[in-house]
Amino acid sequence: MFFYNRNSVAAVFLCLCISFTVGCETEHAGHKGPHLQVTNPWKTSKDIVREYVAQVKAIQHIELRAFEKGYLQNIFVDEGQFVKKDEKMFEIMPIVNKAEYKKAKAEADLARIEYKNTKQLANKNIVSPNELALSKAKLDKAEAEEELAKIHLDFTVIKAPFDGLMDKFRVRLGSLIEEGELLSTLSDNSKMWVYFNVSESDYLTYQARRKQGQLEEVQLRLANGQIFDQSGKIDTIEADFNNETGNIAFRATFPNPNGLLRHGETGNILVTVPIEDALIIPQKATFEILDKKFVYIVDEKNHLQAKQIIIREEIPHLYIIESGLTPTDRILVDGIGKVEPGMEIEPDFKEPSDVISHLDVPAE
């Protein structure tokens, strides 16, 4: 027969509660949090590439304009043609100029004869020295007018002042040309000047490296993404910063032996900057709070602590750290969005090189 005893029931219930509580505490004590990947910042020397939008200019690029008014009688070249120095390019109808030159030449010949006769008479004291001086002045004037007429005649033929490439024609054969009218342009593309704008910070870095003799050649990425097969050298810097943009213009010179580069092209200048003892972490190990970058540091008790970092450089999938970390810090790599400060984890430590090797980082 079963006898109900309130004290006995209470005792049994208390034992069950104690057992349950002890069991829960034991289970909680054995739980170390989620199993997450952890690594150290990678300390290494790293070359980074800075990229600047660039404009390509010919080392010489000039306008070809008419010296004389008249009809365009001849075109000796074609658009896009390579011309040699002193090669004929355009001729403006020279009929009037030829006539004026013949007239001036005849007057100069007459003045020479008169001066010769006057000089003979002066030697015999038949005419005064003033007469001889007047004859000489007339001769000088006639010869100057002859020379001027010859110059105007020569100006009817326009020749190349240097080796270069013709641009498109702005006039056509038979056009009436005004004095000073634009005919075409001519570009010397044997070397190219490439201009690009640099920030004040990059300018100071460049100057420091130049003093240390660490300057490297620069590369040019073309509009199709290909790298130009010739290296360039920075040879000049503009005098002043642009107050509106905070930039200053650099100029690099590139040889152009195959004539691939043309005046007016665009591209991107690539400048390689070496960084010694860089601290590198994966970008995915960071998170943002109010535009500031943080990482989770794993302390000696495997608890997470948020720590602010300053980024020096950003490269594909990686950050180079300016401050906030040391090489011995353990940082959380995975599960950033699933944890919070103070949480305990079970760290799965991976070597930095192993972590980075699994990222899609371009080879140097």
Per-residue DSSP letters for 343-363?
-B-EEEE--HHHHHHTS-PPP
In 3D, which of 315, 322, 333, 330 has the Cα closest to residue 279?
322
Q: Give the end-to-end CA distance of the chain in Å, rounded to a whole number.
A: 88
Q: How confident is the model at residue 314 (pLDDT cuts 50, 70, 90)?
A: confident
pLDDT band at 102; cut points 50, 70, 90: confident
pLDDT digits (tens, 9 = 90+) for 321-349: 999 999 999 999 988 989 999 999 999 99
Q: Is the pLDDT of residue 4 over 50?
A: no
Residue, of 14 and 50, whose pLDDT is higher? 50
Mean pLDDT on 265-282: 90
Dihedrals phi, psi of 351, to nearest 5 degrees: -60, 145
pLDDT at residue 128, as a whole number: 84
CA distance readout (Å), 225 to 119, 229, 270: 78, 12, 12
| Residue 304: pLDDT over 50 | yes
Band the pLDDT of 362: cuts 50, 70, 90: low
CA distance 43 to 46: 9
User: CA-CA distance, 327 to 318, in Å (whole number)?
Assistant: 16
| φ/ψ (deg, to 5) at 154 | -65, -30
Q: pLDDT at position 6, please?
A: 46
**CA 4, CA 25: separation in Å to the nearest integer?**
33
Helix (H) or strand (E) holding 310: strand 304-315
- Averaged pLDDT, 133-140: 88
25 vs 206, residue with greater confidence: 206
Q: What are phi and psi of 58, to 5 degrees?
A: -70, 150
Q: pLDDT higher for 316 or 170?
A: 170
pTM: 0.68
Average pLDDT, the chain: 85
Share of the chain above pLDDT 70, in %: 89
Least confident of 125-129, 197-201, 290-294: 125-129
pLDDT above 70: residue 95: no
Pairing of β 247-255 and β 304-315 = unpaired
Band (14; pLDDT cuts 50, 70, 90):
very low
> Which residue type occupies 311?
I
pLDDT exceeds cutoff 50 at 20: no
pLDDT band at 363 (very low <50, low <70, confident <90, very high): very low
Torsion of CA 346, 352, 353, 355, to 10 degrees: 50
Least confident of 66-80, 145-159, 173-187: 145-159
200: number of Cβ within 10 Å: 11
The yes-or-no verdict on residue 197 having pLDDT over 80 is yes
pLDDT above 80 (res 189): yes
Query: Residue 219: what pLDDT?
Result: 95
Question: Which of 32, 36, 33, 29 minimizes the C-alpha distance to 330?
Answer: 36
Q: Retrieve residue 171's tokens.
A: 């006039």
Residue by residue, DSSP assigns 181-231 as -EEEEEEEEEEEEEEEEEEHHHHHHHHHHHHTT----BEEE-TTSPBPSS-
